[in-house]
Chain A
């Protein structure tokens, strides 16, 4: 006797009455919000490298233990700026499972992407995969993605970049607060870019943080950003108008003051998921890679469809009907002319294909409680227990 009727897909009540999705979406409480903005309205300094942006840059430099921090309006414009500041042309190596928000930044540079496979267990670039990819191309740089709060093998990539005399920069969008040993992400490669989009543990609603140890690069980036806060004057070919406003900085400063609590709450939800999922056949929380301390903002699971009894994409559909949106990996051509995406690429990139087909991201969010996480786990366990029946009902057995 199965209990399919409990599931929303078969007429039951959805687990949540509103959509639950991955992404922190933490905002100050109302009283704090009002105080933060009363302060700005009193000062009447709204943008153009104001006191709050300057303070945020100092605080982040200290927190990340990196020499230079440049705050910009969003991560995209920050990544474009870094590529221009590094004078990149030719080809830039990016992972085959690169999110479009990152790969599209190359559309705004003189360089074209050179897609490279990733490790099938971690979904991340490795030095040996990159080295194989760049064998006979005009590669000027590696844009490595430190995805899901994990990190590539940064030391190996740094050594490779040095040996090949090419640049290395990181999209560490989701990595604020993650550590490799006693070093936080932020000071690796020529530069790292961290996102302050509201899905992350530190939010300016939108925002991008460029971190670098290189003073010349920092000066160039500050001059590209706008006429304000440019420090020493350096000629730049084009400006990017990428200023961060005082409003954005104020929200991020508040977030920084509460970052430990934010990470701690995320960890509690993470642990709840982890404990519960350990008992579900065919589903496992993926181990952290390349880091020694996580910010716990992303929960990535790996599914073994045979053991779980249901195809990954069906699990996604069933959960969606419960008002639970989950993330999945992907490995496919970007839209537009496919000149840079090799024919039959998913065969060319077996690691990315294998990784993305098994990956599923469950929601961690400031809006979720540990009890919510437990309910999601319980619902997934229920789905697994009834997997054969669900598959039959949907006429799509494994």
Chain B
């Protein structure tokens, strides 16, 4: 085992990188090619005529079954799926949408596209997500909607948010992009709130090249989102006000179907990678792995660690060191949304906890391109950083 005692052993100081190709935090699962071709054949035969998209219908049906919901509407991206869902359910005459600040970097943009104002709420320190308590603190007579955003490891307390929504009459949507496979108290993610939104981007659990979808048990809401998403728009001569073309691409639908067929295998390999991380990081002082709650179903997709106070290197420098080794690790949702430059209005109160948390976490390589052996090497590497971090920091200081 290479203990990497010498700074010269690190790519940052000139050594050969640990990996010769990129290990990223994107999933990039390769669906089965034969399955993809099989689904493709269906749309190639049927063409892309209006109303006649058998592959897209099949995808919607399969996803609705997967999420245990009545309806699914597939669209061109998770981003626009959520924009349209927000437009479809926000209380008319009200302006604010409650979302966490410690979240996906485009989430505030998305609220602005829906013509509404993001109101950033605090998060739970352990689960890193919105809760009924943090959302409740932001509710006012301007509140049009709450978006429960699941964090990238485990889920937010969807049942608590549902109770809050019932109590206050404020509609509730979920951004479930990171929770496709999860259950919450053994109930599948997909049917919580009025609707839930998902992404089929290649970096997500289901690789459809690009794409997104909404699940719901409300038929008229599904129809409304479909109409807003352009079911009537292209090649037709009418569409409701505020509609757009956000239609799913048939080739993306075929890809997503192939990905869905392989989801169990994928979760199996994610689990093996995760267990390898859990074992390998157990004795790395200063790093805390966010553990999956295995009492529920989980995808084991994302690997997040907290840099504890005993970790010897700043997060920025840790990231620099990792990047030089060809590990494209990312700071976890940093900076938080309320700290970013925005040209549209937003509302936020005291978000000190979010600000502190945004400095402490990072994501480690995961997904299809990362082997279990890679994970072993990454853990050993992090162990070395832990042992020699002070020396590396000192060496970097002399260099600059």
Contacts and interface: CB of A to CB of B under 8 A. Distances in A.
A334 B238 contact: yes
Given A104-B243, A108-B244, A99 B237 contact: yes
Contacts of A260: none
B113 A108 contact: yes
B28 A46 contact: yes
B244 A241 contact: no
A105 B112 CA distance: 16
Contact of A104 (B28, B244, B342): B244
A206 B252 CA distance: 10
Contact of A80 (B30, B36, B37, B244): B244
A335 B241 contact: yes
Most chain B C-beta atoms within 10 Å of own C-beta, residue among A37, A44, A100: A100
Interface string B102-126: 0000100100110000000000000
Given A235-B341, A247-B255, A206 B76 contact: yes
Contacts of A100: 233, 236-239, 243
Contacts of B202: 46-48, 245
A47 B210 contact: yes
B256 to A, nearest CB: 11
Contacts of B230: 76, 101
A107 B209 contact: no
A25 B207 contact: no
A203 to B, nearest CB: 8
Contacts of A80: 244
A289 interface: no
A334 B247 CA distance: 20
Given A44-B28, A104-B233, A241-B77, A77 B209 contact: no
Interface string A315-333: 0000000000000001000
A41 B35 CA distance: 12
Given A241-B77, A334-B241, A41 B33 contact: yes
A199 interface: yes
B86 to A, nearest CB: 14
B30 A41 contact: yes
A241 B36 CA distance: 25
Contacts of B201: 47
Q: Is the interface of A mostly helix, strand, loop or mixed?
A: loop
A300 to B, nearest CB: 16
A197 interface: yes
B93 interface: no
B344 interface: yes
Contacts of A34: 37
Given A104-B233, A247-B209, A238 B113 contact: yes
Contacts of A335: 238-241
Given A238-B109, A238-B112, A248-B251, A76 B244 contact: yes
Interface of B: 28, 30, 33, 36-37, 40-41, 44, 47-49, 76-77, 79-80, 106, 109, 112-113, 201-202, 207, 209-210, 230, 233-247, 249-252, 255, 341-344, 368-369
Interface of A: 19, 21, 23, 25, 27, 30, 33-34, 37-38, 41, 44, 46-48, 73-77, 80, 99-101, 104-105, 107-108, 197-199, 204-206, 235, 237-239, 241, 243, 245-248, 251, 330, 334-337, 367
